[in-house]
Chains A and B, each alone.
Chain A
Amino acid sequence: MDLAPTSAPAHGPASAPPGDLAIWFFILAELLAFGVFFAAYAFARARNVALFDSMQLTLDRQAGALNTVLLISGSACVARAVEAVGRARSATGARWLLAGIACGGGFLVVKGFEYADKFGAGINLSTNTFYMFYLSLTFFHFMHVILGMVILVALWFKTRQGAYGPADMNGIESGAAYWHMVDLVWIVLFPLVYVMR
């Protein structure tokens, strides 16, 4: 009998990231779009420093920080969900996904209050260059949070049904990767728009 190992070594870096390869191309395209948006904001500020610095003071920094905490916590919950499903604990995984959805919902509520406050003060896209960037950049991100939550709800339904497990992690890992991307983008957006001056 030939006992020589025929497969590749078990250790060493995995060749592909977790989840479906297609989601990673999608994530990279999204990051590219946000990257261009961030650079455009930063260079627009360079031409209008006084305006951007004075307008930044009209933002609710506490709301921005609270939303950072919500997205980071939502991301942590979804990472725990993936970890639980990887140990064949679907019920636990579903509960973590629900917690992640709650964090995303909290983000939308806080951002909704921020928007209501600004629109109530008569601010819109044409108010000035700062608000054109603030509203379009944060709304672009807001739409991604909504899409991320739709994905999480779909994952929650399927996880409750036991559709994922240690042998089939592709779907939940792909959805989770998208949700973490939404968090990653906000980690750059918050200091750039709310704090840096």
Chain B
Amino acid sequence: MNARHLNTVWVVLLLATLATFAIGEAGDLLGITGPVAMLLLLSISIIKGRLVVLDFMGLRGVKFFWRSLLIGWLLLVSALIAVAYWIALK
């Protein structure tokens, strides 16, 4: 992984963090609340986590098995959080 690519990933992660923070601070003003906010927050987390796994941990060029374990963890945890959120709505 070259330095320029790592810098780009870092900037994308910072912008994604800003988006998460903005949903928390101004979700009401932006009309991003409830399940929409939840899905958006989880999507941002999955994008960020995937970048950390592939580019920082260096699993991009590694066999699918290893990538699937870590990204699978991210997807499974996100799915459980979404299910719990959905149960709370009922």
Partners in one complex: yes
The listed residue (B9, B66, B88) touching A24 by CB distance below 8 A is: B66
Query: What number of A residues sit within 8 Å (CB to CB) of B?
Result: 49
Interface of chain B, main secondary structure: helix
The answer to whether A191 touches B56, judged by C-beta atoms less than 8 angstroms apart, is: no
Residues of B within 8 A of A173 (CB): 58
How far apart are A107's CB and chain B's nearest CB, in angstroms? 13
The answer to whether B88 touches A31, judged by C-beta atoms less than 8 angstroms apart, is: no
Interface of chain A, main secondary structure: helix
Task: Kindly state the interface size class of chain B when it binds its partner.
Answer: 35 or more
Residues of B within 8 A of A43 (CB): 80, 84, 87
Summed over the interface, the residue pairs from A and B with CB atoms below 8 Å come to a total of: 144
The answer to whether A14 touches B63, judged by C-beta atoms less than 8 angstroms apart, is: yes
How far apart are A92's CB and chain B's nearest CB, in angstroms? 10
A82 to B55, CA, bound (A): 12
Does A152 have its Cβ within 8 Å of any Cβ on chain B? Answer: no
The answer to whether A83 touches B63, judged by C-beta atoms less than 8 angstroms apart, is: no
Known: A13-B62, A28-B69. Is A196-B37 also a contact (CB below 8 A)?
yes
The answer to whether B13 touches A80, judged by C-beta atoms less than 8 angstroms apart, is: no
Q: By CB atoms of chain B within 10 A, which of A73, A79, A177 has the most? A: A79
CB-based closest 9 A-B pairs: A42-B84, A76-B10, A195-B24, A46-B88, A65-B21, A191-B41, A39-B80, A18-B58, A79-B56
